[in-house]
């Protein structure tokens, strides 16, 4: 039995990957804040995850496929969305057509750091719970 391949753990893993990607993208935006004609980018993940979930409510069931012939129920780790980078080419903030707002980028960076920390704490909690169950200690 593979304990770390569940849908919940897969979503956490994807969220951590998205936060890492978002860190790189925002850092690139900040680094190019004064570059003429630079257009900021952003990472789309949460929106894609909501679309993949199809608006599932908590009362809906999700299933685990043990055979490729079985139908998938709900969202599984196999059909999780991959984070995508989107570039905003429609706006301009300066005379040099750059659209990076450094204050906004820095607040997004702080928000992303908090999200990343939350995801890592949740993964650590899940692993601790599995370890407690396996070892039988309280």
Mean pLDDT of 17-30: 95
Confidence of residue 4 (pLDDT cuts 50, 70, 90): low
Confidence of residue 1 (pLDDT cuts 50, 70, 90): very low
Q: State pLDDT tens for residues 36-78.
A: 999 999 999 888 777 776 655 444 556 666 777 766 665 555 5
For 15, the token pair is 């969220």
8 A C-beta contact, residue 52 and residue 79: yes
pLDDT at residue number 114: 97
pLDDT at residue number 102: 94
Which residues, including other chains, have CB under 8 Å from residue 52's CB and lie 6 or more apart?
75, 79, 80, 81
Mean pLDDT of 84-92: 89
For 118, the token pair is 């939350």
> How many whole angstroms from its chain centre is CA 22?
8
**What is the value of pTM for the model shown?**
0.73
Q: State pLDDT tens for residues 90-135.
A: 888 878 889 999 999 999 999 999 999 999 999 999 889 888 888 8
pLDDT at residue number 59: 47
Q: What is the per-residue DSSP string for 90-119?
A: S---STT-----HHHHHHHHHHHHHHHHHH
């Amino acid at each position: 039995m593979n304990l770390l391949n569940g849908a919940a753990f897969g979503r956490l893993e994807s969220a951590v990957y998205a936060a890492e990607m978002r860190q790189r993208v925002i850092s690139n935006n900040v680094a190019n804040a004064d570059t003429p004609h630079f257009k900021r980018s952003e990472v789309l993940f949460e929106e894609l995850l909501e679309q993949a979930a199809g608006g599932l409510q908590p009362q809906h069931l999700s299933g685990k496929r043990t055979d490729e012939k079985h139908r998938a129920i709900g969202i599984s780790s196999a059909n999780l969305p991959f984070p995508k980078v989107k570039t905003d080419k429609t706006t301009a903030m300066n005379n040099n057509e750059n659209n990076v707002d450094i204050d906004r980028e820095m607040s997004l960076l702080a928000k992303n750091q908090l999200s990343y920390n939350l995801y890592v704490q949740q993964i650590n909690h899940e692993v601790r719970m599995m370890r407690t169950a396996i070892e039988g200690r309280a």
